Structure 1
Amino acid sequence: MKGRSYFHSYATKEDALTFERGNSPWFRLLNGTWKFAYADNPANAPDGFDQEHYDDSGWDRVEVPGMWQLQGYGKPHYTDLHYPFPVNPPYLPSDNPTGCYRKSFNIPQKWDGRQIVLRFEGVDSAFHVWVNGQEVGYSQGSRLPSEFDITSFVHLGGNVLAVRVVQWSDGSYMEDQDMWWLSGIFRDVSLFARPKVQIRDFTVRTTLTDDMTHGSLSIKACVGNLLPETAIGYTLNAQLLDGTGDAVIGLMKEDNVTVSGGTEQAVELRLDVPNPRLWSAEDPQLYRLVLSLTGPDGQAVEIVPQRVGFRQIEVKDGNFYVNGVAIMLQGVNRHDHHPELGRIAPYETMLQDVLLMKRHNINAVRTAHYPNDPRFYDLCDEYGLYVMDEADLETHGFEPLGNISRISDDPEWKEAYIDRVERMVERDKNHPSIIFWSLGNESGFGCNFMAMADWCRANDPTRLIHYEEDRELKAVDVCSTMYSSIEKLTAIAEEEAYTKPHLICEYAHAMGNGPGGLTEYQATFRKHKRLQGGFVWEWIDHGLKMESADGKSYYAYGGDFGDVPNNSNFCLDGLVFPDRTPSPGLLEYKKVIEPVETEAVDLDRGLLAITNLYDFISLDGLELIWSVYGDGKLLDSGSMALPYVPAKGKAAIELPLAARARTIGAYADCQLTLSYCLNKDVPWAKRGHEVGTAQFRLPSRAASAPKDATAKEPVTCAVSGHELTVAGSQFELRFDLLKGTIRSWQYEGTDVIAEGKGPKLSFWRAPIDNDMYIVEEWRKAHLDKLQCRVERVEWDQTSASSLTVRAAVRIAPPVHDYGFRCTYLYTISGNGEVRIEVDGAPDGPGTLPRMLPRIGLRMELPGSLHRVNWYGRGPGESYSDSKRANAIGLYQASVDELYTPYPYPQDNGNRTDVAWVSLTNVRGIGLLAQGQPKLEFSAHRYAPEDFEQAKHHSELAPRETITLHLDYRQNGLGSNSCGPAQLEPYALKAEPFRFAFAITPYNKEMISPIALANKGAVMAK
């Protein structure tokens, strides 16, 4: 059947306004358990399975919607780029996995005399349909709907539906998206009982005057007559209601609609709406439209509801505008994905996605790279998300063969290309959330894309056309790029020859630990008028939940099913984990795109300036909650209503801090923390939900650290062989004079380091996914195989309460002639404190890598020291180019809680800008490390080599010891798994370095974390 908009018809207005399809007596869902037989190709499908009385009693059962590879037939296959079959368009392999389905269904008496429509929302990749043994039709286009008129094939009572699905079709050449190859009936299957005279389709459009104060609603309906005789005297009514109640905004109708037998009649209705409430992602105001077709007798034939949003899209002066405003897109790319169901997206899962996006300040979605489940767009309309709706089209597999445009510029494929965009537009055309039609992804360019764009403009001139690979901007309304660097974006923005607005449809590749550099991207968007944001790649990790032989669950990726070729874990590249737990990257993105910007004007007086970064709404929906912490202790707090700040406006606020300045000044480190929260419930979050934050260090008047009386306690030392023993009243420390390292350390009889695992320089980290390309350079340079040559170790007791040990070493890899010449200087004081000063520099004629993974100390502690307190950024992990989401404060956690469970193990759990960190056992005894002034740290029950060797989280086995890294610096994250490398300020270069830490045995019962914060902050200052 010809494509149409997605809607349901009802018997009454009351039922229609629920928008619940289950309330329609003319709708039936055929989802559930179906009979199933699997064959290796269509020819081997069971003979006669399509016949009505075929004996399927011995067949298996599967669930529909469902992917047959996830129900025990065949295997999932993941590729990002390559076709998994021989490339010879339009032909496919003879071995073409085939699924045969059978389902019994009932046609009730009340459906007698109506048109019966069978609808499939999505079948991968092509399928034939039979009803009661009679062939109905064929369709392809996996993520597109297909409808069949089965009226002449069914009868009242029981009927049998048979479907044969093939994994590969010529359409597969157009469906080479970066995702799992999975097959079957994976979206809803349903029946519609339509009246013979019906609203076959309709198109809703809104226009606004230039000043946005007056709207016009246009409804172009198509009334069809399936009867042989002419339908006379029908009336099409349209009623526009407000968004919540039943207030009537306007009425329209067309009387005496006459439709000849077997034809369709176009009917157009218009309504002027003064001062309409406008739809935007920030304020998604919706009206409700009720279309009623009544017969000559005045009785309703059918009633169709539709949500309507008044909004207008246009391009002018180098920008695209929504409702007269050049908006900023803060979006994500989203696939339909579920960790257990594959490409099936239950309604609850889609709702969860939308709520998570709204709660993390995301305002836009690109449906990468195909139309999503149709109900997803209803959610975007209702909750407010701008949508770039993308056609089910990608031919990426031709790129490695030398001509990615191979079929895109082949006129023989023209109709197939147009079909992809036509069915998408017809299905989704009435959604106000959709502001772009995207013609596809990574398919080169050619005559077929021009034909697609021409069709779009002829049939829907109200939205913008996007396609990233139209590099000469022949067909599109906006310029688009992928993974452009900051420098490239700046050059584009400043290029006078470009007159079209620019967005970046994929950036900040969120694979594994990352992305880094989001702050700089957002600053660049805001700086240049022509840049209007973009879409992070991507929303969710596409891991498939599996269970290992020993019963541990894990998330599978490419290659885990013996699928060759594959792109390994490249499908694990989302801002949320497969179970939709937000990753640290999502929390950072939320912070970077928050809608309120805060500047300090005069902190002594509590004066601040706030800027509203929303495009449309004021800050009236927010309240400010503030607190002041002194060295981790809450000193003061309060809340206040914000002044009226319109969209893009700025205002001054004053906090009551001046009267408390004396109290605040008594602390070494005072932090003013601001939280902007919802002041009332909204559809996507409860009152109190935090949408933005800010933090400022208040002026401090604490001059110096208090004198440490225990520092003068005496120390004794003794040498036995190659071992130096240093002891105080509460500690004993043994040095290995051959290795220049601490061999053991006891405090009050408790071991505070593991035997032989004292601090040593470390330059390696378990590679993160965004190290994908630099790690090849690191391994070639054998940075993961560094060896240490001790050149000399000297010690000297400088006083009765102090002793120093100096070790000169050269750290270098095998094979190469470069290295690092380094010196450790240990100063041991009577209170047990060991100050470690380290300096080093590259050495030798060899060429070092452009960047280093890390520079710091690695040590191992007894597993019992699992309680962690620190003063620095938290509570979550942070890295130099991804830390804004974590505020300075006093935090505590277990070692296990410091771990971030990336599905593909890699470096994780780092904390930055740390003044001090302690690890203690249940009795409060352990170690305290203080930065001089700051450090980074991570602590795990796993070593870096464990993360590196494991391919799944389930393969990690906790060690008996805790690996503690105290870092001078760690390389930034970047997004170089697909995007740019680390920005220059965050790249750890192979240059001379010098740092110092103070490590002290520690009893938490003797000095509290708050007191530690005071002391550590003073030292840092």
Structure 2
Amino acid sequence: MEKKYIESFYPPSSHRLPARAFYIPHATEQEALASGLYRASTRILPLEGKWKFRLFESPYVVPAEVSLADFDDSSWDEIHVPSNWQMEGYGRPHYTNVMYPYPVNPPKVPWENPTGCYRTRFFLQNQDFDRVHLRFEGVDGLFQVYVNGHDVGFGYGSRLPSEFDITNIVHVGENVIAVVVCQWSAQSYLEDQDMWWLSGIFRDVYILKRPSTYLADVRVTALLGTDGLTGHLQVEVELGGVGSANEIVPLRLKLMDSDGNHKMLEQTSFCDGVATYETEISNVRAWTAETPNLYTLLVSINSDTSCAEHVALQVGFRRVEIEDGQLKVNGVPIILKGVNRHEHDARLGRALTLDVMVRDIQMMKQHNINAVRTSHYPHHPMFYDLCDRYGLYVLDEVDLECHGFVLTKNWDRLSDDPELENAYVERLERMIRRDRNHACVIMWSLGNESGYGRNHRAMAERARTIDPSRPIHYEGETRRLLELGSDLQLAVMDVYSTMYTPIDELSKLGDMDLPKPHILCEFAHAMGNGPGGLKEYVELFYQKRRLQGGFVWEWIDHGIQAYTDDGRPYFAYGGDFGDEPNDSNFVIDGLVFPDRTPSPALLEYKKAIEPVRVLGFDRSSGKIRVQNRYDFLSLDCLVAHWSIQDEQSVLASGMLELEPIAPKSIGEIEVPCTELLHMYGDRCLTLTVRFVLPQSTDYAPAFHEVANFCEHMEPSDWTAGIDVYQSIGRFQVIETDTTIRIRDDSFSIDFDVHRGKIALLGYRGSAIITSPLSMSFWRAPTDNDDPPNRDMFSVANVWRDYGVNRLLESVLNVQLQKSDDIVRVSVVSRVAPAGLSWGMVLRYEYVFTHGGFIMIRVSGMPEGAYPPTLPRIGLSTTTHLDFVHVNWFGRGPGESYRDSKESQLIGRYRASADDLYTPYVHPQENGNRADVFWVSITNKYTEGLLITSPRTLNFQVSRFSVEDVERARHPYELEARPWRYLRVDFSHHGLGSASCGPGPLPEYQLRTEPFEGTVYLAPFARNEIDESLLRRMVTERFASF
């Protein structure tokens, strides 16, 4: 490949065919209407499979002979196409977020430039072709194509298609394709997205067999009238291969609804190569993300001849506009409940299959997501067909990012360079021409993080010329206005856009009297354990009319499936392949794990954006006040399942049909529960209402839960009944210089006088607490506590600077009081870090009574120059490995933290202790359960320990120490200990999203200030008493203390 092409932003001639809409031609009308996938067409010859492959270190050492038809490639390896060659064992994946992985000297790239050479063969029969096209849907890197030794042309723009006419080169029989792909070129400066650098033919490549006159392009504009019923349809058909200006070509257009009913049939002809047809369709069913009604448009030429060609397109009638400062679809303001989506698979890299795309979209719909930003490039063309069908709004983004120039202090260098205007505009135009027929695409985005300059203005002007029906987005203009402190009047873009904007700043932006809407193109950075505070963002969208939602960053963790030397699997990230420089685990920042398992964050986002918002519950009438947050659907599209449960079981349940509460309206639902609430008023009760689909859809089964509501009610009367835990045998207290031993016939407690702590708790011969029950203030930092990006604020480093991770406790005083059946121990201690003077005075009050019941009340008073916040405040100990069964009443079943807990409802749950662990790709704090009224751990003999409190608690059970988790880079580095760590916390610092954004909101921060907390411990046997009854008993026992 010649250097002039490698180092050109806008090569003079690539011999590509003009960009066109994505569609598959068919030989017959029946085939076109029956086929949902292009592989079903007889006009397609797919070329995926095994190709011959060799990787060279530079394009300048590739032998010229590799392009020849008779070149001997028998010694070459085979590689699967489509794929990224790094995922197939050639070269290595390389991850950077901002930095270019080569010297920044545009348009130059290094001589060392991995270059992949591909070769394959295909066969043509006599009747196969009048015209033959070769189409690549995506090749990452600049590439040159040869067929039968002839130079066909070259392609660039990695996530854009390149199509070539090879009619005059191919012949009947065997034909040979050779493709040379350079990893780096001048184009790479425009493709510096936050993702793995992966190369090769990663999307479909195929032969199109076409008649001599064929459909070169079909452009469809389907707009909904302001009456909401009239569809305005414009179809522009462009022919290719027209023999002469006088050739008459019959054209037929047929529009059908989803039931196959004809809405339009038009037969005409044209001879000048282009035909435009316009009509109005009455009583159309509008397309929205909530109501994805589609029609099929069949476009046919030469229908009654052997030269026929038929194309079937999905058509959705809808209208997108900016009006009165709001983004509207069909005249209705919408809220974008979106997500940024990169194309990534842990095994396939960016070579996604249709099944993976379908799975992504179904999961998004199941979790109430209604919009996707194609960050930061056009996605596979089939993805848009799926978004049309399933119903997702798409912010379609140009394959353009030059973020690395921010490190050169000249971020606008390329974007404001007039010599690159054509390169910028061409990328935009190719995207629009490919995707403009899709109803799902509601906005064009001019790229990402490329500074701001004249080339963006040129792109916007061109976009409005090609397609005036859609608004234009680019965050860079809003960013520039904010940096300049100007009056925030957008000159070019149609929407204000910011990323990772803190809640308080976003609220101020929402209050401004501006003529255009505001969206968050990125927010709530979903890296590791987090983000926290999703609820507050979404509620702000509903409070401020100009704030119309946003896109969480991002959909999936970009982990790559890897294995240790001894075969243990893990997901790799930056640096794991020896790739330098790298940005470590900053690429692990999705709502789903690399294997597409939902993370706790996805469940929390689903809850925050649920379309049914419960505003209140009146216990006296059983009425629930609800807000319908759908934009287009009335609430009778769902049914409600309700249940009343106490701490042991469900007392009553039922189904409710919902009233047709209009979109964006408020109404009431009456649950027949008032008699039950009165009848069982002496119990802890929970009302749970689940709003579910009444029947299956294409994305979820019947009774799939869409939204929920939970109301917990504590009783006013705590009468527990008979105290079955009366003293068994004699209550003994034995004092030595080091230990206070308290026991009867069922339990034994050792209190370490020197440490001022419970050292051992046994019950019926089983040791439950096996190490000192100690105060703890440290947690293994989350990615939001301790971002790998050094430019971001690390609260974990603040904590480390203050020595919170190395606190030592000194006992100052121990006092003992005892009676016949009560022992009280008071302890004063001071905890402080080595080398620093600040500390915290701790006062413990222990009360031990018959049955092994224990009360621990601890208070803390900070003194000196202490840190502003703390990671956690709580107690920790260890227990025997046999205590594997965990039961609790509180939020569950998944993990929860103070600013990320709404998705976890109050209820009674049980789990294996090992299942409480959340397998984050980068080990960190995990597995907490918040707002817990009681928790128990038991062994197989049902013996165990109940922990409860006058207030709700947090708890964790784990095989891993905090220190081990903090040190580990991957889960396989964690060593499961031969015991379990039991942690009970009074409070945790919030999660926030400071890995790339704001930290926890003030109300979720754990401030360093005086505190007090109380826990009750009670050993018991589950086959003798239920935890709910035991909780009442132990609470009564210590009520007077």
**TM-score class, shorter:** over 0.9
Contact 1:863–1:960, Cα closer than 8 Å, also in 2:
yes
- What SS does the corresponding residue of 2:635 show, helix, strand or coil? coil
Rounded Cα–Cα distance in structure 1 between residues aligned with 2:453 and 2:1036: 65
> What residue is the counterpart of 1:872 in the other structure?
890
Rounded Cα–Cα distance in structure 2 between residues aligned with 1:274 and 1:47: 61
Q: Is 2:764 aligned against 1:748?
A: yes
Q: Structure 1 pair 242/93, CA: closer, same or farther in 2 (3 Å)?
A: same
Spell out the pairing of 1:674-823 with structure 2 (5 A cutoff).
Answer: 674-698=689-713, 700-706=715-721, 708=723, 710=725, 715-754=731-770, 757-772=771-786, 773-797=794-818, 799-823=819-843
Tell me which of 94, 97, 120 is aligned to 2:111.
94
Contact 2:647–2:1028, Cα closer than 8 Å, also in 1:
yes
Rounded Cα–Cα distance in structure 2 between residues aligned with 1:380 and 1:663: 50
Rounded Cα–Cα distance in structure 2 between residues aligned with 1:562 and 1:538: 25
Rounded Cα–Cα distance in structure 1 between residues aligned with 2:491 and 2:976: 57
Rounded Cα–Cα distance in structure 2 between residues aligned with 1:453 and 1:336: 25
Contact 1:635–1:664, Cα closer than 8 Å, also in 2:
no
Rounded Cα–Cα distance in structure 2 between residues aligned with 1:314 and 1:440: 21
Alignment deviations for residues 250-298 of structure 1 (CA, whole Å, 9 cap, x no partner):
122332x114xxxxx2210112111210000001000000001127x76
Contact 1:225–1:231, Cα closer than 8 Å, also in 2:
no
Q: How big is the shift at 1:164?
A: 0.5
> What residue is the counterpart of 1:581 in the other structure?
597
Q: How big is the shift at 1:815?
A: 2.1
**Given residue 752 of structure 2, which amino acid in structure 1 is its aligned partner?**
D
> What residue is the counterpart of 1:636 in the other structure?
652
**Given residue 837 of structure 1, which amino acid in structure 2 is its aligned partner?**
R
Contact 2:344–2:558, Cα closer than 8 Å, also in 1:
yes
Spell out the pairing of 1:257-272 with structure 2 (5 A cutoff).
Answer: 257-259=270-272, 265-272=273-280
Contact 1:253–1:269, Cα closer than 8 Å, also in 2:
no
TM-score w.r.t. length of structure 2: 0.95
- The answer to which of 928-937 and 894-903 deviates more is 928-937
Contact 1:600–1:696, Cα closer than 8 Å, also in 2:
no
Spell out the pairing of 1:269-418 with structure 2 (5 A cutoff).
Answer: 269-294=277-302, 301-418=308-425
- What SS does the corresponding residue of 1:827 show, helix, strand or coil? strand
Q: Structure 1 pair 1020/274, CA: closer, same or farther in 2 (3 Å)?
A: farther
TM-score w.r.t. length of structure 1: 0.97
Q: How big is the shift at 1:876?
A: 0.5
- What SS does the corresponding residue of 2:878 show, helix, strand or coil? strand
Contact 1:540–1:574, Cα closer than 8 Å, also in 2:
yes
Q: How big is the shift at 1:209?
A: 2.5
Q: How big is the shift at 1:1014?
A: 5.7
> What residue is the counterpart of 2:69 in the other structure?
52
**Given residue 599 of structure 1, which amino acid in structure 2 is its aligned partner?**
L
Could you list the structure 1 runs, at least 4 aligned residues long, displaced by more than 3 angstroms after superposition: 297-300, 698-701, 703-714, 1009-1021
Q: How big is the shift at 1:72?
A: 1.6
Q: Is 2:682 aligned against 1:666?
A: yes
Rounded Cα–Cα distance in structure 2 between residues aligned with 1:710 and 1:184: 71
Tell me which of 244, 249, 252 is aligned to 1:234.
249
Rounded Cα–Cα distance in structure 2 between residues aligned with 1:654 and 1:163: 67
Spell out the pairing of 1:139-154 with structure 2 (5 A cutoff).
Answer: 139-154=155-170
Rounded Cα–Cα distance in structure 2 between residues aligned with 1:1015 and 1:617: 49
> What residue is the counterpart of 1:502 in the other structure?
518
Q: Structure 1 pair 794/707, CA: closer, same or farther in 2 (3 Å)?
A: farther
Contact 2:218–2:238, Cα closer than 8 Å, also in 1:
yes
Alignment deviations for residues 114-168 of structure 1 (CA, whole Å, 9 cap, x no partner):
2111111111111011111111111111111111111111111100000100110
Q: How big is the shift at 1:794?
A: 1.9
Rounded Cα–Cα distance in structure 1 between residues aligned with 2:574 and 2:803: 28
**Structure 2 gap segments, 5+ residues each:** 1-16, 482-489, 787-793
Contact 2:776–2:873, Cα closer than 8 Å, also in 1:
yes
Contact 1:120–1:190, Cα closer than 8 Å, also in 2:
yes
- What SS does the corresponding residue of 2:945 show, helix, strand or coil? strand
Q: Is 2:530 aligned against 1:530?
A: no
Contact 1:874–1:886, Cα closer than 8 Å, also in 2:
yes
> What residue is the counterpart of 2:4 in the other structure?
none
Rounded Cα–Cα distance in structure 1 between residues aligned with 2:125 and 2:466: 38
> What residue is the counterpart of 1:262 in the other structure?
none
- The answer to which of 857-866 and 597-606 deviates more is 597-606
- What SS does the corresponding residue of 1:604 show, helix, strand or coil? coil
Q: How big is the shift at 1:982?
A: 0.3
Rounded Cα–Cα distance in structure 2 between residues aligned with 1:535 and 1:1014: 46
Alignment deviations for residues 817-854 of structure 1 (CA, whole Å, 9 cap, x no partner):
1111111111111110111110001112x2x2222100
- The answer to which of 655-664 and 939-948 deviates more is 655-664
> What residue is the counterpart of 1:493 in the other structure?
510
Contact 1:741–1:759, Cα closer than 8 Å, also in 2:
yes
**Structure 1 gap segments, 5+ residues each:** 260-264
> What residue is the counterpart of 2:500 in the other structure?
483
Alignment deviations for residues 790-820 of structure 1 (CA, whole Å, 9 cap, x no partner):
11222221x2100011221111112221111
Identical amino acids, percent of aligned pairs: 44
Alignment deviations for residues 341-376 of structure 1 (CA, whole Å, 9 cap, x no partner):
111111000000000000000000000000111111
Q: Structure 1 pair 457/624, CA: closer, same or farther in 2 (3 Å)?
A: same
Contact 2:420–2:455, Cα closer than 8 Å, also in 1:
yes
- The answer to which of 385-394 and 822-831 deviates more is 822-831
Alignment deviations for residues 950-985 of structure 1 (CA, whole Å, 9 cap, x no partner):
111122221111111100000111011001110111
Alignment deviations for residues 967-1012 of structure 1 (CA, whole Å, 9 cap, x no partner):
0000111011001110111100000000010112221122124534
Alignment deviations for residues 485-516 of structure 1 (CA, whole Å, 9 cap, x no partner):
111111101112x2210000100010000111
Alignment deviations for residues 190-213 of structure 1 (CA, whole Å, 9 cap, x no partner):
110122211110111022322222
Q: Is 2:861 aligned against 1:841?
A: yes
- What SS does the corresponding residue of 1:769 show, helix, strand or coil? coil
> What residue is the counterpart of 2:82 in the other structure?
65
> What residue is the counterpart of 2:968 in the other structure?
950
Contact 2:45–2:207, Cα closer than 8 Å, also in 1:
yes
**Given residue 939 of structure 2, which amino acid in structure 1 is its aligned partner?**
N
Q: How big is the shift at 1:232?
A: 2.0
Contact 1:674–1:694, Cα closer than 8 Å, also in 2:
yes
> What residue is the counterpart of 1:216 in the other structure?
232
Rounded Cα–Cα distance in structure 2 between residues aligned with 1:53 and 1:156: 16
Q: Is 2:241 aligned against 1:225?
A: yes
Contact 1:711–1:829, Cα closer than 8 Å, also in 2:
no
Q: Structure 1 pair 1014/362, CA: closer, same or farther in 2 (3 Å)?
A: farther
Rounded Cα–Cα distance in structure 2 between residues aligned with 1:782 and 1:413: 52
Spell out the pairing of 1:508-657 with structure 2 (5 A cutoff).
Answer: 508-657=524-673
Contact 2:529–2:924, Cα closer than 8 Å, also in 1:
yes
Rounded Cα–Cα distance in structure 2 between residues aligned with 1:147 and 1:13: 24
- The answer to which of 276-285 and 1011-1020 deviates more is 1011-1020
Alignment deviations for residues 671-706 of structure 1 (CA, whole Å, 9 cap, x no partner):
110011111111111111000100113473434444
Q: Is 2:182 aligned against 1:174?
A: no
Q: Is 2:993 aligned against 1:975?
A: yes
Q: How big is the shift at 1:610?
A: 2.0
> What residue is the counterpart of 1:885 in the other structure?
903
Alignment deviations for residues 201-254 of structure 1 (CA, whole Å, 9 cap, x no partner):
011102232222212100011122353x445221211110002x3210012233
Q: How big is the shift at 1:861?
A: 0.6
Q: Structure 1 pair 1015/209, CA: closer, same or farther in 2 (3 Å)?
A: farther
- What SS does the corresponding residue of 1:172 show, helix, strand or coil? helix
- What SS does the corresponding residue of 1:48 show, helix, strand or coil? helix
Contact 1:906–1:947, Cα closer than 8 Å, also in 2:
yes
Rounded Cα–Cα distance in structure 2 between residues aligned with 1:165 and 1:897: 46
Q: Structure 1 pair 1016/360, CA: closer, same or farther in 2 (3 Å)?
A: farther
Contact 1:604–1:699, Cα closer than 8 Å, also in 2:
no
